[in-house]
Amino acid sequence: MKKHEMKRIFLSSLVVFLLSVSLQAQPTEKLVKVAIAPDHANWVYNKGENVKFKVTVTKNSELLPNVKIRYEVGPEMMTPTLKDSAVLKEGGLIVPGGTLKDAGFLRCKVVAEYDGIKYEGLATVAFNPELIKPTVLYPDDFIQFWDKAKQDLAAVPMDVKLTLLPERCTELTNVYQANIQNYKLGMRLYGIVSIPKKPGKYPALLRVPGAGVRPYYGDPSTADLGVITFEIGIHGIPVTMDAGIYTDLGRTTLDGYPIFNLDDRDKYYYKRVYLGCVRAIDFIYSLPEFDGSTLAVTGGSQGGALSIVTAGLDSRVKYLAAFYPALCDLTGYFSNRAGGWPHMFRDLKAGKEKIETAKYYDVVNFARNVKVPGFYSWGFNDVVCPPTSTFSAYNSITAPKELLIMQETGHWTYPEQNEKSKQWLLGKLLGR
């Protein structure tokens, strides 16, 4: 196949992939919109203070009269304390939401029915979120456990294999698939590394992935600016295969991977993942083009978790940027409040071994060890990584930190959030 044809196929696949990710991440526009506005503009209240939710249902930006709604209010992710229904004669209603006596989040959910179709809206308000404390306990041997794991990793050679991907290279950047040995012989780590072509020493950015199974394309556009980028997968499989292969794996072999071997702290699936992030840093440090010091890590959701974990686990990280981190305060449900993704304890039926293992992998306990500046961002309406859980981790960080809250966002970001994160990272990495 000719080079230009390979590049055309690659670019077509990339557009399809990015479009699918965008469609999954961003809420779609709907004919009928259900808007819920708390009576505090910043959506933040003090404990014991009552909240009122203004509900409006519109079509073509006009209030929709005589629409039927059902609404419920309660602590996020928990059983609602108020349920009722109404007919909005003039398209609007004030719902008394009550209050919380403890720091946390209260959510109002409204479902409107119009022309046989249901439309949903959410608003989640905070009560003294800066006072939210984690429920997960910190094991006495947490540091020793991970120091031993890193020692075991260091004893395993990296055995790096790089494959140039000509169709992904730019005028300024070479792009490779990296195939590296992880913490056990035969266990591999794959990713896409983008390295500036111009001779010199460069800072580096490690991109860690959200949950799921997918191909990766790297970040040559940032490398074009003078930053080595390394985007990794976590499952020990090549990241350049046909997209359908990952779909099949996600439905079969890797379905449910976040709870694989949760009853054994040495065999739990995320041990290979967390140590893979450390191995990725080993690889970056081995690159002759790396400046040997300036390194940041970033990601969202599972990647937000891995950003905090990596910074808390490896002192070579100098900066981190994390969006709505997963795996935070997993045991929250045992205290009658929201726990973090993947919500493995939501049914309150987990055995003692699983709860014990989770302590060694909960992002909160890595957050306690973060010592470098960080940029963080999420919204209050996230039903995947609830803000109660993310604040549990954020409030545990004593290092310099900057939090950008976009109240109405769920498990997605506005372009403005991404731009602020990008500029923050480039400012740290390139001294802008």
* Sole residue written with tokens 């140590």: 275
Q: Tell me which of 301, 389, 392, 396 is the catalytic residue.
A: 301
**Residue 1: exposure state from Cβ atoms within 10 A (0-12, 13-18, ≥19):** exposed
**Strand-pair partners of 230:** 193, 206
Q: What are the backbone dihedrals phi and psi of residue 78, each rounded to the nearest 5 degrees, phi first?
A: -110, 175
For the record, the structure tokens of 257 come out as: 């991977």
248 in catalytic set = no
DSSP letters for 38-56: ESSTT-EE-TT--EEEEEE
CA–centroid distance for 415 within its chain:
16
Q: Tell me which of 343, 382, 392, 396 is the catalytic residue.
A: 382
Question: What is the C-alpha separation between 382 and 172, in angstroms, rounded?
Answer: 38
Question: What is the C-alpha separation between 356 and 363, in angstroms, rounded?
Answer: 14
Question: 198: closest CA among 227, 178, 234?
Answer: 227
301 in catalytic set = yes
For the record, the structure tokens of 41 come out as: 């503009």
Determine contact, residues 204/228, Cβ cutoff 8 Å: yes
DSSP structural state of residue 179: E
Inter-axis angle of helices 302-313 and 269-286, nearest 10 = 60
DSSP E strands, 243-370: 290-300, 319-323
Question: 122: closest CA among 386, 382, 405, 391?
Answer: 382
Helices (H) and strands (E) in the chain, counts: 10, 18
Supply the residues annotated as catalytic: 301, 382, 411
